[in-house]
Amino acid sequence: MQQERGQWSGRLGFILAAAGSAIGLGNLWKFPYVTHQNEGGAFVLIYIAAVVLVGFPIMAAEVIVGRRARRSPVGAFLKLGTDRPGGRLWAGLGFLGVTAGFIILSYYSVVAGWTLHYVLMSIQGELAVLARDATALQDHFLNEFLASGPKQIGYHLVFMAATVSAVFFGVKKGIERVAKVLMPLLFAIILFLVIYSTTTSGFGDAMRFLFRPNFGDLEASSILEAVGQAFFSLSLGMGAMLTYGSYMQRKSSIPRSVTEICILDSMMGILACVIMFSIIFTFDLEITQSATILFTTLPTVLVQLPLGSIVLGLFFVLVAFAALTSTVSLMEVVSSYAIDELGWNRRFATVAMGVVIGAFGILSALSLGASETLSRLNLFGKDSTVGLFSSFDYLAANWLLPVGGLLVAIFVGWIMAARDIEDELAEGHGRLGWIGPLIRQSLRYVAPLAVGAILFSIIFLGAEYQ
Cα separation, 143 vs 147, in Å, equals 5
Cα separation, 418 vs 124, in Å, equals 58
- More confident position, 99 or 463: 99
Each residue of 324-355: pLDDT tens digit? 999 999 999 999 999 999 999 999 999 999 99
Cα separation, 438 vs 366, in Å, equals 46
Is residue 58 within 8 A of residue 438, CB to CB? The reply is no
Q: Cα separations (Å) of 6 from 55, 210, 213, 288, 423?
A: 27, 42, 46, 43, 22
Nearest partner of 69 among 338, 416, 439, 429, judged by Cα: 416
Lowest-confidence region among 85-94, 96-105, 158-167, 385-394 = 385-394
**Residue 111 identity:** V
Is pLDDT at 22 greater than 90 in this prediction?
yes
Mean pLDDT on 147-160: 95
Is pLDDT at 234 greater than 70 in this prediction?
yes
- Side-chain half-sphere of 439: how many Cα atoms within 13 Å? 27
Please report which confidence band the pLDDT of residue 217 belongs to, taking 50, 70 and 90 as the band edges.
confident
Is residue 23 within 8 A of residue 322, CB to CB? The reply is yes
Is pLDDT at 144 greater than 80 in this prediction?
yes
Residues found in the chain: 466
Is pLDDT at 223 greater than 60 in this prediction?
yes
Instruction: Provide the CA 126 distance to its chain's centre, in angstroms.
Output: 29
pLDDT at residue 372, rounded to an integer: 41
Cα separation, 202 vs 30, in Å, equals 20
CA dihedral 317, 323, 328, 329 (to 10 degrees): 140
Each residue of 164-190: pLDDT tens digit? 999 999 999 999 999 999 999 999 999
Each residue of 287-335: pLDDT tens digit? 766 667 889 889 999 999 998 999 999 999 999 999 999 999 999 999 9
Is pLDDT at 385 greater than 50 in this prediction?
no
Please report which confidence band the pLDDT of residue 2 belongs to, taking 50, 70 and 90 as the band edges.
very low
Is pLDDT at 384 greater than 50 in this prediction?
no
Cα separation, 31 vs 48, in Å, equals 12
Complete domains list, the chain, with CATH: 2-460 (1.20.1740)
pLDDT at residue 1, rounded to an integer: 41
